[in-house]
């Protein structure tokens, strides 16, 4: 049924269709965005792997944080709801 799956001329037709649909000006930006996304994904998966290894082999010299220590961060400001049109609902 599909003996010679993708031949070079098939790829050429696909490339021409993509260029016609998206335009030649937007393709470099799209490729750049895909590359940036791939780098972010790669770094995140690497961080998750390192975090997973750290969980299986905890460092013996790190003390566990106690729940009674005071927070060093200032309290967050109270959040006020904002209407979709940007108007302040309190007024």
Convert the pLDDT of each residue in 31-68 to its tens digit: 899 999 999 999 999 999 998 887 665 555 555 555 55
Q: Per the structure, how many domains does the chain have?
A: 1
Q: What's the average model confidence in pLDDT over 55-82?
A: 56
In a domain, 62, yes or no: no
In a domain, 67, yes or no: no
Report the SS3 class of residue 87. coil
- Torsion, Cα of 43, 49, 51, 56 (10° steps): -170
pTM strictly above 0.85:
no
Domain that holds residue 46: 24-55
Given a contact cutoff of 8 angstroms between Cβ atoms, the answer to whether 81 and 89 are in contact is yes
Q: Rounded to 5 degrees, what are φ and ψ at 30? A: -65, -40
In a domain, 72, yes or no: no
**CA–CA distance from 78 to each of 75, 81, 90 (Å)?**
9, 10, 14
């Amino acid at each position: 049924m599909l003996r010679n799956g993708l031949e070079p001329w098939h790829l050429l037709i696909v490339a021409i269709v993509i260029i016609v649909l998206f335009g030649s000006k937007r393709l470099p930006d799209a490729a750049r965005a895909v590359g940036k996304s791939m780098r972010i994904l790669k770094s995140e998966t690497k961080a998750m792997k390192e975090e997973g290894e750290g969980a299986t082999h905890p460092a013996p010299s790190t003390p566990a944080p106690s729940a009674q220590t005071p927070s060093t961060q200032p309290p967050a400001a109270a959040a006020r709801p904002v209407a979709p049109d940007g108007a302040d609902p309190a007024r």
